[in-house]
Homo-oligomer: A and B are copies of this chain.
Amino acid sequence: MPTEIERKFLVKNDDWRSLGKGVFYCQGYLVSSPNKTVRVRIAGKQAYLTIKGATTGIARAEYEYAIPVDQAQELLQTLCAPPLIEKMRYRVEWGGLVWEIDEFDGENQGLIVAEVELADENQAIALPEWIGTEVSHDPRYYNANLSKHPYSQWAK
């Protein structure tokens, strides 16, 4: 079973910006429940259909398939519940790991989170100084939930 183990953090300053290049992502969900999500994503010039199971700790079954971009566009417009998630994703190599920093736009504008994928749940990692609070276990930050309850609507 392909599994994804990730930790997710808020970002506390802009010092990461010089370290990576951004790619535009647009994604939506055909299903989004606590036990199962089916995501349609356009990432730059590629598109993917991704199925994820329930999260166990910080691990999650993940199945990803490349699909034609024009079909992804149709699926996003006709079958995914609005609002769609729009974000720039920056890939930053730091301390031997790859960090993915998502700067959201649209209804989630103002939110920036950083994710790192790990080999196992207990892997020790060094945190860059631009990393803030960990939000791995806060479901509000799941992209599927940001689509239902966008950041712009959170009580702050």
**Partner-B contacts on A (CB < 8 A):** 1-2, 30-31, 35-36, 38, 49, 51, 53, 61, 63, 65, 67, 71, 74-75, 78-79
A54 to chain B, nearest CB (A): 9
Copies of this chain present in the complex amount to 2
Which chain B residues border A63 with CB–CB below 8 Å?
Answer: 67, 71, 74-75
Which residues of B are found within 8 Å of A75, using beta-carbon distances? 51, 63
CB proximity of A33 to chain B, nearest CB, Å: 9
Other CB < 8 Å A-B pairs besides A51-B75, A51-B79, 17 of them? A2-B71, A30-B30, A30-B31, A30-B36, A30-B38, A30-B51, A31-B38, A35-B79, A36-B79, A49-B49, A53-B79, A61-B78, A63-B67, A63-B74, A63-B75, A65-B65, A65-B67
